Amino acid sequence: MTTTDEKWVERIRQWKESGKTAEEFATGQPYKASTLKWRAAGLRRSAEGGERHVEGQGPSGAIRMARVVPRIRGGEPRGAELVVEVSGARIALSRGFDAVLLTEVVRALGASR
């Protein structure tokens, strides 16, 4: 861990212990609240399994696959344009779906194996 990382770990520890929001804690500091939150997220990612990973790949670099099932008329929820099956669960999607939420659901389903 670099000296800079150690400095940010200490700042983040102090922030968390303070009970203040990032905005409150960063007031009067030589950094912005957004930087504090960004650094905290980066350190959390590192602690959870290493470097940032490429979208569609797990932290190990392995490509994770999901089977896509075509829409069956009358058999899917109204408005579903695409159904994704992961670990036995079927997820109906329509235009404008929340990609972040879908990613979290797929990860959770994959972890349940």
Query: pLDDT of 33-68, one tens digit each?
Result: 999 998 888 877 776 665 544 444 444 555 555 666
Task: List CB contacts of 89: < 8 A, sequence separation 6 or more.
Answer: 109
Instruction: Name the residue ranges covered by the structural domains of the chain.
Output: 3-47, 67-111
CB 91, CB 84: distance < 8 Å: yes
pLDDT of 27-39, one tens digit each?
999 999 999 998 8
Task: List the beta bridge partners of residue 96.
Answer: none
